[in-house]
Structure 1
Amino acid sequence: MATLPTIFVLNGPNLNRLGRREPEIYGTQTLDGIAAVMSRRAEELGVAVDIRQSNHEGHLIDWLHEAEDSGAKAVIINPGGYGHTSVSLHDAVKAIATPVIEVHLSDPETREDFRHTDLVALAALRVIKGQGAEGYLTALDAAACL
């Protein structure tokens, strides 16, 4: 039986708090709920998803490297606040040939000024923002077509 192409879905700091962290901004869906919906959509699309979350920048960087080394089809990343601060995460996205799609639940450009710069977006193939949890499915649909 052939192995399905894999899409890594990497989630950064504080995303483990979805559903209770500022629901007026991030919605009420939990990360586990988003993962379940993504897994069902991935099955429909004929791909596998490897969904991970860490509050540690180094883990996200290691997982980006792992995605390329394992031959992943693509990476979807929600870097959380690291998108605005991490030159190292930006560099890790640039360092791999695997296409990277960035997703944000809210639209950072409509929020505080410090969120308007997105270092990861400068290296990503595409950015999806402001669609809430649905943005993950938009990103998955796009990644499956790469």
Structure 2
Amino acid sequence: MPTPPLIFVLNGPNLNLLGSREPEIYGSDTLDDIAGRLNEQAEGLGVRLDIRQSNHEGHLIDWLHEAQAEGAKAVILNPGGYSHTSVALHDAVKAIATPVIEVHLSDPEARESFRHVDLVALAATQLIKGEGARGYSLALDAAARL
């Protein structure tokens, strides 16, 4: 039996605080809650996940490179605040052939003006925003269809 396709799910800064950080914006689900649902969904889709979180930009860049080296089918990336500031993360997404689906729990364009520019989205294959935790599920469906 062949190994199921691999999808990386990478989470950026402050997402380790989900569930307690500004629940009126980000919801009450923890990152573990989201990961648990994604793993169940992945099983039904016939894919396997590698779910990670880091508050460090370089880790996210290294993991994007690793996703390509490991032959991942896709990457689901929530870059958090780095989406608005990181040319390096934009360049890393652009540098790999692996499709990257960017996901945001909130809709950055409906928030402070400094969040309206999304550098990562300029390089990503697709952007899902403003769907809360459900956005991860939508991203996983999209990634599995690639």
- TM-score between both structures, scaled by the size of structure 2: 0.99
Counterpart Cα distance in 2 of 1:110 and 1:90: 22
Counterpart Cα distance in 1 of 2:141 and 2:52: 18
Structure 1 runs of 4+ with >3 Å offset: none
Is 1:139 aligned with 2:146? no
Give the aligned partner of residue 3 of structure 2: 3
Q: Please give the residue correspondences for 1:88-107 in structure 2 after superposition, counting only pairs within 5 Å.
A: 88-107=88-107
Is 1:84 aligned with 2:84? yes
Where structure 1 has 5 or more consecutive residues not aligned to the other structure, the ranges are none
Counterpart Cα distance in 2 of 1:100 and 1:9: 10
Counterpart Cα distance in 1 of 2:63 and 2:128: 20
Give the aligned partner of residue 56 of structure 1: 56
Report SS of the residue matched to 1:49.
Answer: strand
Q: Note the alpha carbon deviations across 1:78-122, whole angstroms, 9 max, x for none.
A: 000000000000000000000000000000000000000000000
Q: Note the alpha carbon deviations across 1:51-98, whole angstroms, 9 max, x for none.
A: 000000000000000000000000000000000000000000000000
Report SS of the residue matched to 1:81.
Answer: helix
- TM-score between both structures, scaled by the size of structure 1: 0.99
Aligned length: 146
Q: Please, what is the CA RMSD of the aligned residues?
A: 0.4
Report SS of the residue matched to 1:60.
Answer: helix
Once the 2 structures are TM-superposed, how far is the Cα of residue 2 of structure 1 from its aligned partner? 1.6
Give the aligned partner of residue 115 of structure 1: 115
